[in-house]
């Protein structure tokens, strides 16, 4: 069952010269799928993520997420839809500095007026799942990058969203913390059946996914599925990136661990 259906989506930014950032893009994302979106700089990845996040609307084309057309919602309904059905993870964590790890994580439930005991149960489960027991009372400036991103993932998951949208979630992490976060996202995807859509420049990060969708100049370029080992998938991603015009020379020394 497709949880996201994008049908001929086009996004035109008006300016002195109108610019088409996304052009007639169609794709579907299955429930429980872990999808990476890759493309050169300026290919429209952020624009697409903004549309999938329902914070921006396509100029034409249709989109359904979890059976809902976000364009049919009022601003208030749209905010509620985001809060209940979507989770967001960003490159720079976006934690509130004056709140502790557990306060940051529980924030979406506080906004949703859940009871204290419901919040506590869900929080305890997630703190354990994310291995944050030793830092649950810490503030963001007392965390490593990996702990901060795991907290942000906890905040994104606490309300059990249908779709998790991640924008370069490993962009600010070293390779060890990146690996931890990617393994965590893989576990969340498999165990909680959360659909994940992740924009990334990193072929290693993309190799954790089930499928990579490549876009170029706002248009569908290609897609590949992982049907074999991660190492082989990684090589196929590099091959596609070289066809795309991405600079794979920078990656020639990359080793998949
Ligand atoms: N608000 C805007 N107004 C006008 N043009 C925009 C706007 N936002 C993005 N663009 C243009 O749309 C195109 C796609 O931009 P977008 O940020 O979606 O690409 P991207 O693939 O996310 O790039 P990067 O990898 O560098 O973040 C670019 O040519 C960009 O200059």
pLDDT in tens, 94-133: 999 999 999 999 998 887 777 888 889 999 999 999 999 9
C-alpha 53/C-alpha 207 separation (Å) is: 23
42 lines ligand 1 (CB under 6 A): yes
Q: What integer is the mean pLDDT of 33-43? A: 96
Task: Tell me the three state secondary structure of residue 208.
Answer: coil
Residue nearest to atom 14 of ligand 1 (CA): 44
pLDDT at 253: 44
What are the tokens at 184? 């965590």
C-alpha 188/C-alpha 203 separation (Å) is: 20
pLDDT at 256: 58
11, 37, 42: which to mutate for ligand 1, most atoms within 8 A of CB?
A: 42
pLDDT at 252: 41
18, 21, 58, 218: which to mutate for ligand 1, most atoms within 8 A of CB?
A: 21
Phi, psi of 11 (to 5 degrees): -125, 120
Lowest model confidence (mean pLDDT) among 164-168, 184-188, 226-230, 238-242: 226-230
User: What ipTM was predicted for this assembly?
Assistant: 0.94
Residue nearest to atom 28 of ligand 1 (CA): 42
pLDDT in tens, 53-68: 999 999 999 999 999 9
Distance 61 CA to ligand 1 centre (A): 19
C-alpha 151/C-alpha 170 separation (Å) is: 13
pLDDT in tens, 136-152: 999 999 999 999 999 99
18 lines ligand 1 (CB under 6 A): no
Number of CB atoms found within 10 A of residue 229's CB: 11
pLDDT at 255: 52
User: How many Cα atoms are found within 13 Å in the side-chain-facing hemisphere of 238?
Assistant: 16
Of residues 19 and 36, which shows the higher confidence score?
A: 36
Residue nearest to atom 18 of ligand 1 (CA): 44
- SS3 string, 210-229, reads CEEEEEECCEEEEEEECCCC
The residue count of the chain comes to 257
């Amino acid at each position: 069952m497709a949880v996201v259906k994008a049908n001929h989506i086009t996004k035109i930014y008006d300016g002195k010269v109108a610019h088409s950032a996304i052009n007639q893009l169609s794709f579907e994302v299955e429930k429980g799928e872990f999808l990476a979106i890759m493309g050169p700089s300026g290919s429209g990845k952020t624009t697409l993520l903004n549309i999938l996040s329902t914070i921006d609307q396509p100029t034409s084309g249709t989109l359904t997420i979890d059976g809902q057309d976000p364009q049919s919602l009022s601003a208030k309904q749209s905010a509620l839809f985001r809060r209940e059905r979507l989770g967001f993870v960003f490159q720079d964590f976006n934690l509130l500095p004056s709140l502790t790890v557990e306060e940051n994580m529980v924030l979406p439930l506080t906004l949703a007026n859940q009871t204290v005991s419901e919040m506590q149960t869900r929080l305890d489960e997630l703190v354990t799942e994310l291995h944050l027991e030793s830092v649950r009372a810490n503030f963001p400036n007392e965390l490593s990058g990996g702990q901060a991103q795991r907290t942000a993932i906890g905040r994104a998951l606490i309300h059990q969203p249908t779709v998790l949208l991640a924008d370069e979630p490993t962009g600010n992490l070293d390779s060890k913390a990146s690996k931890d976060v990617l393994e965590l996202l893989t576990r969340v995807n498999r165990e909680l059946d959360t659909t994940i859509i992740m924009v990334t420049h990193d072929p290693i990060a993309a190799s954790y996914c089930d499928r990579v969708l490549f876009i170029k100049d706002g248009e569908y370029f290609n897609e590949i599925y992982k049907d074999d080992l991660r190492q082989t998938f990684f090589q196929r991603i590099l091959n596609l990136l070289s066809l795309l015009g991405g600079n794979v020379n920078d990656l020639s020394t990359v080793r998949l661990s």
